[in-house]
């Protein structure tokens, strides 16, 4: 045990040792029934006389903090519940570098308040996790640990478990994107993939183009990396090409981040013609394209649109996706597809950033995911989500004020609502929470932090139709309240 003791201090050693334990016990760091080290061992560890330790322990015992179990050792006694379990406030001023850090502007991310029990929550960003067959997955984990034992818990290939990369290449081929396992890089969720791409291609101060609105956690990342974030507006056919061209000319971005399929938060898709234009513009202006295809296959109707990556034979596009939305978010396994020098750089940064994503989870996923299983899961999800989307559309038509606007999404997870003129979704939220419904307010999806006040995002995939209907009714009541308070 490595208690800090100071031989030059005027405080006797036994007192220093006693104080360490006293503070740890009173603060709750050392819990009841924890056995203190044997006095002989601790004396040896610290290089002090055994009497010193015994004196310290004696003081603790006299004060009712520990008890001696004869022949067994010294144990921590239960403490009465402490009002303040926090450690004592630090007396010293922060070091200068900490003070400097505190002066840097911090993006205060507007967090949606936690929904209370009984609240109908349309705010999350993921799919319905109760679809995931956790019992099957449990059996898969069993088999892996039984069959492979400790080997399943070793470090893995930094680029990802090779059989899983092959499975991903097969799943992608069955979706219309042909690639090789060698071009697949496994990451800890697609969030890490996006972070790696930014860190590889951009430096602080560099410019990145995004849709306005776009994925809120993406914006947080871009701002956190010190990037200059330029939002380009979209309409019901996705990113507007004239605005994109102007932004490319004005800002010379090194990267375009886009969600062409069932865009987050609006649910729109980039049209087929615009896909080709986007690729051509990006090439002409020497900007890489980062395609986020987080739910690209969750289509309920309409024509399938090819991924940007499948239209790009030249290594212009880096494709990222994830198992989090289709399977379970807690797995934290995403992936990217890239080529050429970028692929090498990304693989190296992944390795140096966290060595590798958990090989155990990757093995489990590889064992669980087959094309057949994946496609069956996709079919089940599409069927269920489509019904929920229809219920949401019906409910907003039925319950919300006439001037509310929305685009009917052909797939994905989200409905993007625009409130009647003059209404602010951030002001609506507390009223909605009181009425027992929650959503993601529009402003958090805009790089400038002020657009989108009139908008909000609803995730329609999480709840059965009748609850969706009830939730929209509650939302309508909150809106009514807001309009009267104005």
Of residues 289 and 476, the one with the C-beta less far from a second copy: 289
How many CB atoms sit inside 10 A of residue 158's CB?
17
Residue 175 CB neighbour total at 10 angstroms: 20
CB of 37 to a second copy, least distance (A): 9
Q: Determine if 397 is a binding residue for a second copy (CB under 8 A).
A: no
> Taking CB under 8 A as the rule, does residue 79 contact a second copy?
no
Minimum distance from residue 138 beta carbon to a second copy (Å): 4
CB-wise, 353 or 467, nearer to a second copy?
Answer: 353
Nearest distance from residue 327's CB to a second copy, in Å? 8
For a second copy, the closer CB: 136 or 480: 136
CB of 427 to a second copy, least distance (A): 26
**C-beta closer to a second copy: residue 164 or 361:** 361
Q: How many CB atoms lie within 10 A of CB 320?
A: 26
| Interaction of residue 477 with a second copy, rule CB under 8 A | no
CB closer to a second copy, 250 vs 370: 370
Q: Alpha-carbon distance 163 to 327, whole Å?
A: 18
Closer Cβ to a second copy, 250 or 286, answer by number: 286
Q: Please state the closest distance from residue 125 (CB atom) to a second copy, in A.
A: 9
From candidates 163, 224, 449, 464, binder to a second copy by CB under 8 A: 224
Residue with tokens 């090989």: 359
Binding mask 344-383 for a second copy (x = CB under 8 A): xx--xx-xxxxxxxxxxx---------xx-----------
Mark 171-210 with x for binding to a second copy (rule: CB under 8 A) and - for no binding. -xxxxxxxxx-xx---xxx-xx--x---xxx-xx------
Q: Is the CB of 124 or the CB of 233 nearer to a second copy?
A: 124
Distance linking the first and last C-alpha atoms of the chain: 64
Question: Least distance to a second copy from the beta carbon of 155, Å?
Answer: 5
Cβ proximity to a second copy: between 51 and 272 the closer is: 272
Q: Which is nearer to a second copy, 120 or 475 (CB)?
A: 120
Binding residues among 108-127 for a second copy as defined by CB under 8 A = 109, 126
Q: Which of 38, 77, 342, 384 binds a second copy (CB under 8 A)?
A: 342
> Closest approach of Cβ 50 to a second copy, in Å?
14
Q: What is the distance between the alpha carbons of residues 166 and 182, in angstroms, rounded to a whole number?
A: 8
Judged by CB under 8 A, the chain residues 258 through 297 that form the site for a second copy are 272, 283, 286-288, 296-297
Residue in 198, 185, 219, 189 with CA at minimum distance from that of residue 325: 189
Compute how many residues bind a second copy; rule: CB under 8 A. Answer: 132
At its nearest, how many Å lie between a second copy and the CB of residue 454?
A: 27
Cβ-in-10-Å burial (0-12, 13-18, 19+) of 387 comes to middle
Residue closer to a second copy by CB (options 31, 246) is 31
Q: How far apart are CA 142 and CA 136, in angstroms?
A: 10
16-45 residues near a second copy, rule: CB under 8 A: 20, 23-24, 27, 29-31, 34-35, 44-45
User: Which CB sits closer to a second copy, 95 or 118?
Assistant: 95
Taking CB under 8 A as the rule, does residue 450 contact a second copy? no
* Residue whose CB is less far from a second copy, 224 or 422: 224
Closest CA to 335 of 134, 197, 210, 128: 197
Interaction residues for a second copy, span 303-322 (CB under 8 A): 303-307, 310-311, 313-316
Give residues 91-110 in contact with a second copy (rule: CB under 8 A).
Answer: 91-99, 101-102, 104, 106-107, 109
Q: Shortest gap between Cβ of 173 and a second copy (angstroms)?
A: 4
Q: Which residues, 141 to 160, sit near a second copy by CB under 8 A?
A: 141-142, 145-146, 149-150, 152-156
């Amino acid at each position: 045990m490595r208690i800090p003791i100071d031989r030059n201090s005027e405080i006797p050693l036994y007192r220093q040792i006693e104080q360490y334990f006293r503070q740890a016990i009173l603060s709750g760091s050392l819990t009841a029934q924890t056995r203190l080290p044997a006095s002989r061992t601790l004396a040896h560890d610290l290089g002090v006389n055994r009497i010193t330790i015994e004196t310290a322990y004696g003081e603790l015992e006299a004060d009712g903090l520990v008890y001696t179990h004869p022949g067994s050792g010294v144990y921590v006694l239960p403490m009465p519940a402490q009002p303040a379990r926090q450690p004592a406030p630090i007396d010293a001023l922060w070091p200068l570098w900490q003070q400097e850090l505190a002066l840097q502007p911090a993006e205060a991310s507007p967090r949606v308040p936690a929904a209370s029990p009984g609240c109908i929550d349309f705010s999350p960003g993921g799919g319905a996790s109760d679809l995931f067959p956790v019992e099957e997955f449990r059996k898969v984990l069993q088999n892996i640990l039984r069959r492979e034992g400790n080997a399943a818990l070793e470090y893995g290939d930094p680029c990802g478990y090779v059989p899983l990369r092959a499975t991903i290449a097969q799943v992608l081929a069955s979706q219309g994107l042909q690639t090789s396992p060698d071009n697949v890089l496994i990451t800890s969720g697609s969030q890490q993939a996006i972070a790696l791409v930014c860190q590889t291609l951009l430096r602080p101060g560099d410019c990145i183009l995004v849709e306005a609105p776009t994925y809120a956690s993406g914006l947080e990342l871009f701002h956190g990396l010190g990037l200059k974030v330029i939002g380009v507006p979209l309409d019901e056919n996705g990113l507007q090409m004239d605005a994109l061209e102007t932004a490319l000319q004005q800002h010379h971005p090194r990267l375009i981040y886009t969600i062409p399929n069932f865009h987050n938060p609006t649910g729109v898709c980039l049209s087929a013609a615009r896909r080709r234009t986007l690729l051509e513009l990006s090439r002409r202006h020497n900007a890489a394209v980062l395609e986020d295809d987080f739910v690209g296959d969750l289509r309920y109707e309409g024509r399938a649109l090819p991924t940007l990556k499948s239209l790009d034979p030249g290594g212009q596009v880096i494709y990222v996706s994830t198992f989090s939305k289709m399977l379970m978010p807690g797995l934290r396994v995403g992936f990217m597809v890239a080529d050429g020098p970028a692929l090498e750089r990304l693989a190296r940064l992944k390795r140096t950033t966290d060595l590798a994503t958990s090989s155990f989870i990757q093995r489990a996923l590889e064992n669980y995911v087959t094309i057949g299983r994946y496609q069956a899961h996709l079919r089940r999800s599409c069927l269920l989500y489509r019904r929920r989307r229809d219920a949401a559309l019906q409910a907003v038509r039925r319950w919300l004020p006439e001037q509310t606007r929305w685009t009917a999404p052909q797939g994905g997870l989200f409905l993007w609502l625009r409130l009647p003129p003059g209404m602010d979704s951030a002001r609506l939220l507390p009223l909605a929470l009181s009425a027992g419904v929650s959503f993601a307010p529009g402003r958090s999806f805009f790089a400038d932090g002020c657009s989108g006040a009139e908008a909000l995002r609803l995730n329609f995939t999480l709840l059965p139709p009748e609850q969706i209907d009830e939730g929209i009714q509650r939302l309508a009541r909150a809106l009514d309240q807001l309009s009267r308070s104005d």
